[in-house]
Amino acid sequence: MNPESSRPQPLAGYRIVDLTTFLSGPFCTQILADLGAEVVKVEAPEGDSSRAIPPHFVGSDSAYYLGINRNKQSVAIDIKQPEGLALVKRLIAEADVVVENYRPGVAARIGLDIAALRAAKPALIWASVSGFGQTGPWRDKPAYDMIVQALSGVMSLTGEPGRPAVRLGIPAGDMVAGMYAAIAVNAALADRERSGEGRVIDVSMLDCQLAMLSYQSTYALVAGTTPQPQGARHDSIPTYRSFVAGDGRELVVTANTERMWKGLCEALGLAALVADERFDSGGKRLKNREALWPLLEDAFRARAAAEWIAPLQNNGVPVALIKNVPEALQDARESGRGMVLPLDGTHGEHIEVVGNPIRFVGEAERVASYPPRLGENAGQVLADWLGTAAGEVAALIERGVLVQREPVAA
């Protein structure tokens, strides 16, 4: 038996109180849960608003919710009741980390004062994910994924030149903030091992999108340029782009070295271009890209997209068909890396979701748990964390402090 396979998951034993809703925060806590943390999702009586997002549902929960809440437990508490607020505080007192994505100031307004909670437990790590951060002139403004894509400059780079900007097809504003928050939580846990002290983490969705601008922000800052919409092209490498083949299907090539440039020309039957003085260096190809592109485009139309894969690969040119989402997921099923993950609920539910991309070599595959029904884990969580008896849990449900949603047929 491989000794790695019997080791606990990296975050096993850490307890996370998840006060988040919708996407950025739940994605952060799903990452932590996938890494082994015990994540308790504390919801309002009506539940996380993402549970109701149309159009696809399994039972009473939306596909949107199901895709970002596996490996968690749910406790639904009416925090507006003093008894409910006290219960949340007791759970926080037993936690290593709290993750929330309230608008700045809301946590204190509902009775969760960060300073007071951390004064009572200095080792507590508190991670806040918000649109614009806990400080600055925009701190109180609401933010959504497309808002931060717009304000960060990301949307100005997305789409075809001369056409209106478009949002990225994935919710990068939310997802990237969730990833950065998860990184920060792990860093704070590592620091706590040395210092014994927790941290307060402030992650801004807008800051995270700015960080993702990469070389485009450096070009603007260093050269004073205004980067333009990229389409399916690259600002620096004219042979790093997509092409339409003879069957109308698109493929991409990333010929970003001289060797790859020569291979591209040979595969396309354009070997004479290698010696063409307009194109005999990367700088010249960039300068003369408007003359180069029609030559390449005409050549690609000579064959169907799939027929270009082998000759390009054989000439050392990285190439790929542009897959649609179902095609990409089918490839993932066949890859053997477990990136399409089956989840089975306790009431006959069965779905597939995209899995955890983090792999630890030698670790045995672990079974992921189905996203929790609203409030379904109240009895187990309160017993494990607070020592609450079953009768007391039933009384809290009777008084409306706790809420549990009955299962709905999938």
Q: Which residues are catalytic?
A: 174
For residue 353, report the phi and psi dihedrals to the nearest 5 degrees.
Answer: -135, 165
From residue 401, alpha-carbon distances to 61, 295, 394, 405 in Å are 22, 69, 10, 13
Q: What is the dihedral of CA 91, 92, 93, 98, to 10 degrees?
A: 140
- Rounded distance between C-alpha atoms, residue 2 and residue 176, angstroms: 34
Mention every residue, 6+ apart, whose C-beta is less than 8 A from residue 317.
Answer: 253, 254, 255, 260, 263, 264, 267
Q: Are 401 and 87 in contact (CB under 8 A)?
A: yes
- Rounded distance between C-alpha atoms, residue 298 and residue 156, angstroms: 29
Range list of H helices, 196-214: 205-211
Q: What angle do CA 331, 336, 339 make, to 5 degrees?
A: 65
- Rounded distance between C-alpha atoms, residue 392 and residue 402, angstroms: 11
Nearest to 396 by CA among 61, 88, 96: 88
From residue 402, alpha-carbon distances to 61, 74, 92 in Å are 19, 11, 16
For the record, the structure tokens of 331 come out as 């490839």
Q: What angle do CA 146, 355, 75 make, to 5 degrees?
A: 75
